[in-house]
Amino acid sequence: MTPHVLVQLTLRLRPCECKFDHRPPLKALPCYFEIIRPKSNFSHNAGGNAQRNMRRRERAARAYAEQAEQLRTTLASIGDGVISTDVAGRITNLNSVAESLTGWKHSEAVGQPIEAVFRIVNEESGQTIENSVKRAMQKGAIVGLANRSVLIAKDGSDRPIDDSAAPIRCKEGEIVGCVLVFRDVTVRNQLERLNEERLVVAQRLSSIVDSSNDAIISKSLDGIIQTWNVAAERLFGHPAEQAIGRHISLLFPSDRLDEEDLIITRLRAGERIEHYDTVRVRSDGQPVQVSLTISPLRDAEGRIVGASKIVRDITERKEMEGKLHQLVAQLSDSDRRKDEFLAILAHELRNPLAPIRNGLQVLKMVGDEAATVKEVRSMMERQMSQLVRLIDDLMDVSRITRGKLELRMEQVKLAAVLESAVETSRPLIEETGQELTFITPNQQMIVAADPTRLSQVFMNLLNNAAKYSDRGSHIWLTSERQGNEVVVTVKDSGIGINADQLPHIFEMFRQVHSSLAKSQGGLGIGLTLVKRLVELHGGSIEARSDGLGQGSEFTVTLPLATDASLLNVIGDGEERPLKSSFRILIVDDNQDGANSLAVMLRPMGNESRTAYDGQQGIELAGDFRPDVILLDIGLPNLNGYEVCRQIREQPWGECIVMIAVTGWGQDKDRHRSEEAGFNHHLVKPVDPADLMKMLAGLQIPKQK
């Protein structure tokens, strides 16, 4: 008789470790099956014992039936699918969970090969995976399915599963079958996927926070720092491990501790605080300007449990703002000075005009009274030169600011430049009752300079010394060589300059003693001009004063010329008598200008005529046959260049000395007039003395 075999299944469950499912992962289920063979000590020949044996058999059969029932109910009540097979892999049993997962009824499944009922494929490839029942029996050990295994149910539906197969051994250790425990992990996989996605999002957020340039800090409502990103470390100098767990007041300067209470009050009310500019302190105690944006942090129920802070370092922005404010202040200051300048300009231009107009009236009234005429004329000359100087300064400043001023550099003796400046300033110095000490410098001091412009520099400084000194004060003009440089000093014992004004003295329209009464006939541009001119000569200028009433000192430093061989010194050369006897034609659409020039040239011995446009000029030239033509360029209809070209084309026009008179004095303008056929180029306003000098030195070519 075949011995009865009883399969006893004992499942020992470990405490749950899985986060998503309260059941342990299947691989953690150590299950074993013990095969209990009823003792087979039957005696076939013990007739007297037959009854006893029978009872024993009945007991054994009952016990078997009880144990089989116990096993069935155990299997039925397990939450996982369980299938048992014999050693050939044919199903011997399956519980109800296995029935529903595979779609096979117990009655259909028992006796079927395990592969028919428990069909497993790879989730991605769809390839059949080797059944774990077979592997468990081959290995003689517990095996589990690879990840991403899918169970194909009888109806073709699929679901991800997790399984574990363990061989069933008899008491002697021989493998007699296999038990497979499996479960649907659809929900678990979804949860895992969700969790993975959340993890990715969290990692991304964390890397955003870490790569942010702004410090991002979170704190609890009682002010304890909870998170601290890399930028917070950089900004405040505290490493995260030192900052987390500390109170946020760690970052507050002592005079701003009460800010935290205000912040917390607003946060508790659910308010967000945006772009709050304040100061915090770094670990080294240094204050740092920051802008805070603080938002309440809420838990899952929406309760405010803390705050997130974004802290931006605004040191640079604050500096920029500071600079911007400074700039705005400077702009409005220069705007104000420009307004003042315009008022002064109007005043200064009107000042000389009044005496000139009076002078004309006097001349009309006194007729030929020689003494009065002489006096009035010299007064008018003074006023006129003051007007011309103002306008010249204005034009120079405008040229310099537009970068249009060109220097005509030469090697010149410094002494000659200074003498020329003294000569020009002497009338003002004498008029204002000053005493000038001028020590003529060593003749060998040569500078590379535009003599007119450099002389203008010292003339301006001397004039200022005279203007800003009381009658009877002293002015010194000295120069000394210092290495490869020359230092020229204009010093006065006048009203002086306040220390706070000294740094601004060279600014445009700056008048230290700023009231119309004290402007002394200036526009506040003289020193700007002086400084720019000195710089164009490669030099520098400095102003010094011990304060109001203490006098002033202006020091100009210029490089000495290295090559004296090109020496062409102003003031050198013979003085020529200012006499000429030419036939001169003046062509200018400014009739007063043309007429007054014609009148001025006659007493020198010249014969002069005027024309007021280009065509008239050409015609008059044909009749008058002048030796010299003073020709304005900006004429209506036919401009000066064209007039010059047409006259040059005439047989009588070749030898005429053509002099361009124009407001444009740059090199390109000179080239243009030369190309048109002009012999000389004079820039308006033409100084009568210069013109006379030029005429006196003219050699008129002989007519062919």
Residues in CB range of 100: below 8 A, 6 or more apart: 81
CB of 331 to ligand ADP, least distance (A): 20
Q: Which is nearer to ligand ADP, 479 or 519 (CB)?
A: 519
Q: Using the rule CB under 6 A, which residue among 4, 23, 256, 513 binds ligand ADP?
A: 513
- Alpha-carbon torsion (447, 450, 456, 461), positive or negative: negative
> To the nearest whole angstrom, how small is the minimum distance from the Cβ of residue 511 to ligand ADP?
3
The one segment of 291-299, 408-416, 488-496, 614-622 that binds ligand ADP by CB under 6 A = 488-496
Q: Is 200 or 499 the residue whose CB approaches ligand ADP more closely?
A: 499
Cβ closest to ligand ADP, residue 509 vs residue 641: 509
Mapped onto helix, strand or coil, the DSSP state of residue 182 is: strand
User: Which of these ranges, 15-23, 140-148, 242-250, 506-514, lies near ligand ADP under the rule CB under 6 A?
Assistant: 506-514
Q: How far is the CB of 387 from ligand ADP (least distance, A)?
A: 14
Residue 478's closest CA among 491, 460, 495? 491
Considering only 150-158, 294-302, 311-319, 518-526, which stretch makes contact with ligand ADP by CB under 6 A? 518-526
Task: Please state, in angstroms and rounded to a whole number, the distance separating the CA atoms of residues 495 and 464.
Answer: 11
| 390 burial type by CB count under 10 A (0-12 exposed, 13-18 middle, 19+ buried) | buried
Of 99, 214, 450, 492, the residue at the interface with ligand ADP (CB under 6 A) is 492
When the beta carbons of 511 and 673 are compared against ligand ADP, the nearer one is: 511
C-alpha of 107 from chain center: 82
Show Cβ contacts of residue 349 under 8 Å, excluding neighbours closer than 6 positions. Answer: 387, 390
Could you tell me whether strands 149-152 and 143-144 are parallel, antiparallel, or unpaired per DSSP bridges? unpaired
In sequence order, the β-bridge partners of residue 583 are 607
Q: Which is nearer to ligand ADP, 441 or 524 (CB)?
A: 524
**Residue closer to ligand ADP (CB basis): 511 or 580:** 511
Of 465, 586, 598, 661, the residue at the interface with ligand ADP (CB under 6 A) is 465
110 in Cβ contact with 162 (< 8 Å)? no
Near ligand ADP by CB under 6 A: residue from 280, 413, 510, 681: 510
Residue 352 as a binder of ligand ADP (CB under 6 A): the answer is no
Residue identified by tokens 């470790």 is 17
Shortest Å distance, C-beta 285 to ligand ADP = 46
Nearest CB to ligand ADP, comparing residues 280 and 467: 467
Contact between 86 and 33 (Cβ < 8 Å): no
Q: Which of 676, 600, 667 has the alpha carbon at shortest distance from 635?
A: 676
Tokens of 348: 């200064």
Count CA atoms within 13 Å of residue 57 on its CB side: 14
Question: Which residue in the set 356, 523, 558, 647 belongs to the binding site for ligand ADP (CB under 6 A)?
Answer: 523
Binding mask 643-672 for ligand ADP (x = CB under 6 A): ------------------------------
User: Considering Cα of 357, then 363, then 366, then 372, what sign does the dihedral take?
Assistant: positive
118 or 554: whose CB is closer to ligand ADP? Answer: 554
**Closest separation in Å from C-beta 393 to ligand ADP:** 8
- The first and second tokens of residue 684, run together, are 């308006």
Q: Which residue is nearest to ligand ADP (CB)?
A: 522
Q: Which of 509, 526, 510, 384 is nearest to 462 (CA)?
A: 526
> Residues 177, 524, 614, 677: which binds ligand ADP (CB under 6 A)?
524
Stretch of 111-119, 188-196, 460-468, 566-574 contacting ligand ADP, by CB under 6 A: 460-468
495 binds ligand ADP (CB under 6 A): yes
558: left (phi over 0), alpha (psi -120 to 50) or beta: beta
Give me the least distance between CB of 437 and ligand ADP, in Å please: 15
CA distance 456 to 417: 9
Nearer to ligand ADP, 330 or 666 (CB): 330
Q: Judged by CB under 6 A, does residue 95 bind ligand ADP?
A: no
**470 closest CA partner among 510, 518, 426, 422:** 518
Under rule CB under 6 A, how many of the chain's residues touch ligand ADP? 22
Sheet with 474-482, strands from edge to edge, namely 435-438, 474-482, 485-492, 552-559, 540-545
Q: Would you state the structure tokens that stand for residue 390, as one six-digit string?
A: 């103002």
Check binding of 505 to ligand ADP (CB under 6 A). Answer: yes
Nearer Cβ to ligand ADP, position 420 or 464?
464
Q: Measured between alpha carbons, how far is 105 from 290 in angstroms, rounded to an integer?
A: 73
- Rounded to the nearest whole angstrom, what is the least distance from the CB of residue 455 to ligand ADP in the complex? 16
**Structure tokens given for 205:** 């957020």
Which listed range, 31-39, 297-305, 376-384, 493-501, lies at the site for ligand ADP (CB under 6 A)? 493-501
Tell me the residue type at 270.
G
The residue count for the chain: 704
Tokens matching residue 363: 């001349």
From candidates 189, 425, 511, 608, binder to ligand ADP by CB under 6 A: 511
519 near ligand ADP, rule: CB under 6 A = yes
Contact pick of 552, 608, 662, 673 for ligand ADP (by CB under 6 A): 552
Q: Which of 132, 432, 464, 479 binds ligand ADP (CB under 6 A)?
A: 464
Q: Give the residue with the Cβ less far from ligand ADP, 338 or 625.
A: 338
Work out the number of other CB atoms within 10 angstroms of the CB of residue 653: 20
Q: Considering beta carbons, is residue 157 or 398 the nearer one to ligand ADP?
A: 398
H helices of 402-525, in order, are 414-431, 451-467
- By the rule CB under 6 A, 457 interacts with ligand ADP: no
Binder among 181, 294, 400, 525 for ligand ADP (CB under 6 A): 525
Does the protein bind ligand ADP through residue 522 (CB under 6 A)? yes
State the sign of the Cα–Cα–Cα–Cα dihedral 246, 250, 251, 252.
positive
Ranges within 527-546 binding ligand ADP (CB under 6 A)? 527-528
Which of 526, 614, 626, 677 binds ligand ADP (CB under 6 A)? It is: 526
Dihedral sign, Cα of residue 567, residue 400, residue 488, residue 461: positive
Cβ 447 to ligand ADP shortest distance, Å = 22
The stretch near ligand ADP (CB under 6 A) out of 25-33, 398-406, 503-511, 600-608 is 503-511
Render 216-253 in DSSP notation, one character per residue: EEEEETT-BEEEE-HHHHHHH---HHHHTTSBGGGGS-
End-to-end CA distance of the chain: 161
Residues contributing to the site for ligand ADP (CB under 6 A): 464-465, 468, 492, 494-497, 505, 510-513, 519, 522-528, 552
